[in-house]
């Protein structure tokens, strides 16, 4: 008897479920995407115990006939593609035909659907049809998945805590609602509404259901396009950031995706604006020809592959960075006012007052979002005419009067709005960083030959590695020669090198080339400029005179980004006059 056998349908579905059904969130994803593909305008997701006991998705889409309902439980049965040509022109979210049979194989699965005239109900257990019958017609589909993983205890064991699993579902629903703002979504858990949108087709309104008012107030819109891609979305100012990349939402042709290179392109747009280990909050929408994207490289259709990926990443980074350069990014330090609690009212009255305040806050929030939406519409309507007007160069820093130095580190200034503090080391770093970066990036970089070559102490391995990267150094104005003892001599350097530091600067560059994997010239220049700017800037605890301060402020104001040092720390902060007066109780908050 042969060793190779044909797997049973049930076992095949269980294996597929291992790829498609990771947790409750992946079930929600597959069901919701089917509802979207059915042209639904309203989708309700009801959970019991974060979906472990039940996940019910109800839509008002096109519905299915009994024949199509039964066919949907067959592996690789789909209405989305018919030929190989369709696979490269995918306009739907689901297309692989694995989700329904895979989920049904590890749950109690109920489907009710109608195209409007008659309704039908199917019930599956372990992937096998157990019940079938007619049902009251209601156009659309309802799918209930109960007791997920009941027959695969190993999968059940590896689920996270209930609230953690619920957070995964919430994260997905947030993102899918952003990808389809024209659809009204409702998410409940144990009959409590957690998330709801109106289907108003406005991205900002959806964002306001996800983030706080402070974040919404500090979001900026952006958009750009080239011959391949159109990108648009919203991004927060750098002072509003996160400790993980999870708040970067990518939507491609209406599909929520993951792509590390695109995420890195977003982060690169914030380069030097954010501290190390901090990430922005960004909603990025990408529109492109389906031919330029492959969505069939991941079982859950999360990861995608782009043609012209480098072109896309360059567009994203440039668009976000140029937008940030137009903003004033001086963070205001606000007093944290404590709310004084009084106990002279009875408990019921306190509760009523709290509910009234909450209602007023919610009303203010809605009014503010409406204001932002109308403001954006007005801005969009005049954008074309404004774009043709000449751009006047503006001062990035306000007019400031110098009043003193604190701890030999912080320069103090004032104007009619309040007090400003500048970190002299961070400011000097920013100035030197931009100078180094500009000089090293100059395509017409000038260099000169050294009177006496400088020998570098390198191992034979390092010499071999560097020989393949000589062109990188030549682009930066540095030339090498292999000497008689098989090591390397520096024979020419760029004119911006400080005399006596030729070997030190070159060794810094060599370090980045040897340590970097697929490191571009731009990345090397950026890292080197950061390193050099830190080592050769004004230090903390050093008193500087009035002339040095005047020069520093003039140079800082001329920077592309005068608000942060190259590592993302602020160079300048503001304490407003009103906040100072609140601290001294001169005015009531």
pLDDT exceeds 50 at position 357: no
Contact 52, 165 (CB under 8 A): yes
Look over the chain and give the mean of its residue pLDDT values, rounded to a whole number.
80
DSSP-derived secondary structure letter, 211: S
Average pLDDT over residues 276-286: 90
Q: Which two tokens stand for residue 506?
A: 């070159």
Select from 106, 91, 212 the least CA-distant residue to 151.
106
Q: How far is CA 328 from CA 217, 313, 561, in A?
A: 14, 25, 9
Q: What is the pLDDT of residue 588?
A: 60
Q: How far is CA 534 from CA 407, 434, 566, 567, in A?
A: 20, 12, 9, 10
Least confident piece of the model among 117-131, 295-309, 332-346:
332-346
- Angle at CA of residue 96, ends 93 and 101, nearest 5°: 110
Residue in the block written with tokens 């697929």 = 518
Q: Which two tokens stand for residue 178?
A: 């952003």
CATH fold of the domain at 447-494+499-535: Ribosomal Protein S8; Chain: A, domain 1 (3.30.1370)
Q: What is the pLDDT of residue 589?
A: 53
Q: What is the pLDDT of residue 92?
A: 61
The pTM for the full model equals 0.69
SS3 505: helix
Least confident piece of the model among 195-199, 277-281, 465-469:
465-469
Per the model's pLDDT, the better-predicted residue between 535 and 550 turns out to be 550
Q: What is the pLDDT of residue 78?
A: 60
pLDDT exceeds 60 at position 353: no
**Which H, E and C letters describe 220-264, residue by residue?**
EEEEEECCCEEEEEEEECCCCEECCHHHEEEEECCEEEECHHHHH
Average pLDDT over residues 452-459: 83
Least confident piece of the model among 180-189, 289-298, 389-398, 476-485:
389-398
Q: Name the pLDDT band for 86 (thresholds 50, 70, 90).
A: very low
Give the neighbor-by-neighbor strand order of the sheet with 410-415. Answer: 401-406, 410-415, 418-423, 572-576
Q: Name the pLDDT band for 522 (thresholds 50, 70, 90).
A: confident
Q: Name the pLDDT band for 8 (thresholds 50, 70, 90).
A: low
Query: 489 phi and psi, to 5 degrees?
Result: -110, 140
DSSP-derived secondary structure letter, 539: P
pLDDT exceeds 70 at position 517: no
- Angle at CA of residue 52, ends 145 and 146, nearest 5°: 25
Q: What is the pLDDT of residue 22?
A: 84
What contacts 159, CB < 8 A, 6 or more positions away?
A: 23, 24, 52, 149, 165
State which H helix or E strand residue 128 sits in.
strand 128-135
Q: Name the pLDDT band for 459 (thresholds 50, 70, 90).
A: confident
Q: What is the CA radius of gyration of the chain?
A: 30
Q: Name the pLDDT band for 187 (thresholds 50, 70, 90).
A: very high
pLDDT exceeds 80 at position 390: no
Residue in the block written with tokens 């060794």 = 507
Same-fold call for 9-196 versus 211-325: no
**Spans of all domains in the chain:** 9-196, 211-325, 336-383, 447-494+499-535
- Is 3.90.1150.10 the CATH classification of the domain at 211-325? no
Q: Which two tokens stand for residue 76?
A: 């690789």
Top mean pLDDT of 66-70, 371-375, 542-546 is at: 66-70
**Which H, E and C letters describe 400-448, residue by residue?**
CEEEEEECCCEEEEEECCEEEEEEHHHHHHHHHHHHHHHHHHCCCCCEE
Question: Where does 308-423 have alpha helices with state H?
Answer: 309-325, 347-386
Q: Name the pLDDT band for 82 (thresholds 50, 70, 90).
A: very low
Q: What is the pLDDT of residue 18?
A: 47
Side-chain half-sphere exposure of 5, counting CA atoms within 13 A: 7
Least confident piece of the model among 78-82, 200-204, 338-342, 390-394:
338-342
Question: Could you name the CATH architecture of 9-196?
Answer: 2-Layer Sandwich (3.30)
Q: What is the pLDDT of residue 579?
A: 84
Q: How many CB atoms lie within 10 A of CB 356?
A: 10
SS3 370: helix
135-176, pLDDT tens digit by residue?
988 999 999 999 998 888 877 888 888 888 998 899 999 999
Q: What is the pLDDT of residue 344?
A: 37
Query: 57 phi and psi, to 5 degrees?
Result: -120, 120
Q: What is the pLDDT of residue 295?
A: 64
Q: Name the pLDDT band for 248 (thresholds 50, 70, 90).
A: very high
Q: What is the pLDDT of residue 366?
A: 60
Q: What is the pLDDT of residue 537?
A: 60
Q: What is the pLDDT of residue 296?
A: 52
Q: What is the pLDDT of residue 370?
A: 65
Average pLDDT over residues 440-462: 81
Q: What is the pLDDT of residue 345?
A: 37
Task: Tell me what percent of the residues of the chain surpass a pLDDT of 90.
Answer: 35
- Angle at CA of residue 378, ends 373 and 382, nearest 5°: 145
pLDDT exceeds 50 at position 518: yes
């Amino acid at each position: 008897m042969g060793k190779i056998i044909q797997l049973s349908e049930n076992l095949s579905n269980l294996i597929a479920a291992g790829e498609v059904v990771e947790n409750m969130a992946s079930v929600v994803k597959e069901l919701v995407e089917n509802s979207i593909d059915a042209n639904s305008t309203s989708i309700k997701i009801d959970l019991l115990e974060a979906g472990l006991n039940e996940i019910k998705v109800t839509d008002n889409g096109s519905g299915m006939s009994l024949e199509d309902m039964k066919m949907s439980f067959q592996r690789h049965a789909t209405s989305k593609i018919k030929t190989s040509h369709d696979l490269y022109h995918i306009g739907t979210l689901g297309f692989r035909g694995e989700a329904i049979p895979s989920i049904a194989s590890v749950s109690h699965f109920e489907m009710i659907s109608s195209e409007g005239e008659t309704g039908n109900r199917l019930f599956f257990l372990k992937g096998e049809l157990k019940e079938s019958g007619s049902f009251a017609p209601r156009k659309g589909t309802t799918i209930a998945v109960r007791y997920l993983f009941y027959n695969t205890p190993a999968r059940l064991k590896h689920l996270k805590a209930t609230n953690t699993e619920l957070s995964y579902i919430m994260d997905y629903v947030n993102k899918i609602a952003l990808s389809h703002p024209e659809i009204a979504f409702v998410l409940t858990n144990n009959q409590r509404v957690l998330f709801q949108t109106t289907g108003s087709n406005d991205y900002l309104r959806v964002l306001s259901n996800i983030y706080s008012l402070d974040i919404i107030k500090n979001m900026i819109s952006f958009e750009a396009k080239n011959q391949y891609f159109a990108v648009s979305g919203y991004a927060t100012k750098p002072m509003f950031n996160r400790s993980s990349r999870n708040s970067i939402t990518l939507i491609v042709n209406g599909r929520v995706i993951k792509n590390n290179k695109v995420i890195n392109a977003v982060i690169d747009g914030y380069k030097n604006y954010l501290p190390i280990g901090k990430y922005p909050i960004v909603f990025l929408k990408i529109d492109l020809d389906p031919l330029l994207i492959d969505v069939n490289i991941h079982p859950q259709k999360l990861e995608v592959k782009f043609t012209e990926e480098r072109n896309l990443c360059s567009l994203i980074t440039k668009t976000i960075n140029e937008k940030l350069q137009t903003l004033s990014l001086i963070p205001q330090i606000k007093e944290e006012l404590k709310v004084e609690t009084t106990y002279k009212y009875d408990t019921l009255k306190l509760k009523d007052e709290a509910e009234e305040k909450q209602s007023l806050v919610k009303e203010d929030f809605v009014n503010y979002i409406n204001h932002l939406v109308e403001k954006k519409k007005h801005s969009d309507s005049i954008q074309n005419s404004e774009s043709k007007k000449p751009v006047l160069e503006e001062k990035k820093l306000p007019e400031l009067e110098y009043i003193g130095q604190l701890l030999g580190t912080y320069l103090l200034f004032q104007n009619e709005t309040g007090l400003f503090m500048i970190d002299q080391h961070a400011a000097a770093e920013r100035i030197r960083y931009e100078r180094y970066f500009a000089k090293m990036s100059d395509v017409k970089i000038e260099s000169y030959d050294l009177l006496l070559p400088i020998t570098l102490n390198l191992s034979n391995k390092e010499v071999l590695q560097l020989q393949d990267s000589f062109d990188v150094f030549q682009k930066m104005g540095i030339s090498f020669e292999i000497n008689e003892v098989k090591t390397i001599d520096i024979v020419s350097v760029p004119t911006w090198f400080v005399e006596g530091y030729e070997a030190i600067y070159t060794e810094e560059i060599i370090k980045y080339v040897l340590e970097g994997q697929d490191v571009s010239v731009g990345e090397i220049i950026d890292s080197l400029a950061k390193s050099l700017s830190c080592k050769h800037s004004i230090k903390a605890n050093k008193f500087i005179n009035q002339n040095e301060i005047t020069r520093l402020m003039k140079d800082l104001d001329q920077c592309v980004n005068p608000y942060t040092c190259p590592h993302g720390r602020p160079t300048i902060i503001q304490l407003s006059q009103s906040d100072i007066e609140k601290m001294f109780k001169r005015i009531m908050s």
